[in-house]
Amino acid sequence: MVKLKSKREIGFVRESARIVAEVLELIGHHAKPGVTTKELDEIAEQFIRSHKAEPAFKGYGRKDNPFPATLCTSIDDEVVHGIPGGRTLKGGEILSVDVGVRKNGYYGDGARSFRIGKVSDEKERLLKVTEESLRKGIEQAVAGNHIEDISHAIQQHVESNGFSVVRDLVGHGVGKQLHEEPSVPNFGSPGRGPAIANGMTLAIEPMVNAGGWEVRFLADGWTVVTLDGQPSAHFEHTIAVIDGKPEILTR
């Protein structure tokens, strides 16, 4: 069931989302060649806890294999859910960083893909198109539209530029839970899915592959990679529908 939020509840989501945005801004300053993903993770966790908030991803998931870190750090062909560790960033790579924050019982969620040094022209275009597709999806999140209007706008922009949207992973509602209804796919047909209404809080997150859309999970049970080994990019905003229009809370 889709949970519509009151203005007070949106305020709580907004506070968590603001911390998400600040974490991503901070990571952008530190994500450079020679830095390890574990170092970035430690920076993020310290920042979140200094704001009297909790890392939403740490400990999330199955009891026998909870996610062990604050950030998801995914490099090049890693689409999402990469686990921070001793891997050192190298020039020319794409680093996709996903982070969630919980404060006052409400969640915010966001992601950005960063250029590590100078990247190839094709990676540059992948990053540009993925971020543009997020913006085009958000533009469709108006009261009276349907969820797949968001999906279709993302898919159309991505595929018209020769890239692919991942189909096995989707965006989602966000609020008292990190993942709530409705699911927000990155592909679909206009006019389908739940109607968009005031009070919806959504995490819209195109995951875009340079090659085919197919993915696979690694043995760690978390990291998702492209099946063909081509690079991938990921951008995400938490939004709220207010007065019939989308407001980006993780700006």
Please report how the helices 37-50 and 7-30 are oriented relative to each other, as an axis angle in degrees rounded to 10.
140
CA distance 97 to 65: 20
Place of tokens 């506070």: 15
Amino acid at 106: Y
> 196 and 16 in contact (C-beta within 8 Å)?
no
Q: What is the CA radius of gyration of the chain?
A: 17
> 105 and 176 in contact (C-beta within 8 Å)?
yes
What secondary structure letter does DSSP report for 86? S
Please, which residues bridge with residue 21 across strands? none
CA distance 127 to 233: 6
Q: Is 234 annotated as a binding residue?
A: no
**Sequence-separated (6 or more) residues with CB below 8 Å from residue 162:** none
**C-alpha separations of 216 from 18, 169, 187, 188, 213 in Å:** 32, 11, 19, 21, 10
Q: Is 64 annotated as a binding residue?
A: no
Strands 180-184 and 171-173, sheet pairing: antiparallel
Q: Is 179 annotated as a binding residue?
A: yes
Q: How many CA atoms lie within 13 A of 243 on its CB side?
A: 1
Q: Is 51 annotated as a binding residue?
A: no
Q: Is 109 annotated as a binding residue?
A: yes
Q: Is 149 annotated as a binding residue?
A: no
Task: Please enumerate, by residue number, every residue annotated as part of a binding site for substrate.
Answer: 81, 179
Task: Please enumerate, by residue number, every residue annotated as part of a binding site.
Answer: 81, 98, 109, 172, 179, 205, 236
Task: Please enumerate, by residue number, every residue annotated as part of a binding site for a divalent metal cation.
Answer: 98, 109, 172, 205, 236
